[in-house]
């Protein structure tokens, strides 16, 4: 199947309420441009430098979906339209600071380490509300939701509890109605798990393999 056929098939399954982000790490500029020509409007990149080299600005809404190091924030805030992987006060403050200098308000998602896995990025679920409450006071970021990667498992059904848990936090934070916090985006689900993520309340899925084939 071509990239275009894959995208048509996926979009057929998604309702208009679900945002499809093409996860494009290791894909060539040409493949990405084919996806855009086939209707992709959101691109997710994992690495700042790789994204920069692909010259994607202006072609689609650019999401940073990989972990962001503080020393790359300055470049990242110029390049990306949304940063999905904020998981610490330190990172949020640096994004805020760098955005101030370029007069930008950066939409962000908070990355939840829903499996409470060691050595994995994302904030532990029980610390999410506190982090959000604190960083919501920063003027140059705008919290718009949550993102999670469930622990890796071949059987996507095993991801369901983690999606469920993240949706629960999402709803709890929404019900707190914290000032300047908009809980509208729940980014979860990858190629093998996205239908389950959607059943559990995802509003955005991040797909690589399903669009482009194996990496
Ligand atoms: C690579 C990646 C994806 C997409 O993975 P596929 O299994 O290829 O769909 C989604 N989210 C993140 C954060 C990724 O790094």
pLDDT of residue 16: 86
pLDDT, position 200:
98
**Residue range 167-185, pLDDT digits in tens:** 999 999 999 999 999 999 9
Distance of CA 21 from the midpoint of ligand 1 (Å): 10
**Is the pTM of the predicted complex or chain greater than 0.95?**
yes
Q: What gap in Å lies between CA 14 and CA 207, rounded to an integer?
A: 12
What CATH number corresponds to the domain at position 50?
3.20.20.10
| 29 in Cβ contact with 52 (< 8 Å) | no
The band of 48, judged by pLDDT with boundaries at 50, 70 and 90, is very high
Counting from 1 in the atom list of ligand 1, the atom nearest the Cα of 84 is 13
pLDDT confidence of residue 153: 93
> What is the percent of the chain with per-residue pLDDT over 70, rounded to a whole number?
100
Give the residue, by CA position, lying nearest to ligand 1 atom 6.
208
Q: Which domain holds residue 85?
A: 3-212
Total tally of structural domains belonging to the chain = 1
Residue 117 reports pLDDT greater than 90: yes
With bands split at pLDDT 50, 70 and 90, how would you rate the model's confidence at 94? very high
Tell me the CA–centroid distance for residue 26 and ligand 1, in Å.
11
């Amino acid at each position: 199947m071509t990239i275009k056929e894959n995208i048509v098939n996926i979009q057929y399954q998604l309702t208009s309420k679900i945002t499809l982000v093409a996860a494009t790490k290791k894909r060539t500029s040409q493949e990405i441009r084919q996806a855009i020509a086939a209707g992709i409007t959101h691109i997710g990149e994992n690495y700042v430098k790789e994204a920069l080299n692909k010259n994607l600005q202006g072609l689609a809404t650019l999401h940073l979906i990989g972990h962001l190091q503080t020393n790359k924030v300055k470049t990242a805030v110029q390049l990306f339209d949304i940063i999905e992987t904020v998981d610490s006060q330190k990172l949020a403050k640096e994004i805020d600071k760098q955005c101030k200098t370029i007069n930008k308000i950066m939409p962000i998602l908070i990355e939840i380490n829903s499996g409470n896995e060691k050595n994995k990025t994302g904030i532990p679920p029980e610390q999410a509300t506190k982090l959000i409450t604190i960083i919501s006071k920063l003027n140059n970021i705008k919290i718009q939701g949550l993102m999670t990667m469930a622990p890796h498992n071949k059987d996507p059904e095993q991801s369901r509890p983690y999606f469920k848990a993240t949706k629960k936090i999402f709803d709890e934070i929404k019900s707190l109605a914290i000032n300047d916090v908009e809980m509208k985006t729940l980014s979860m689900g990858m190629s093998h798990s996205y239908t389950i993520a959607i059943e559990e309340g995802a509003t955005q899925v991040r797909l690589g393999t399903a669009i482009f084939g194996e990496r």
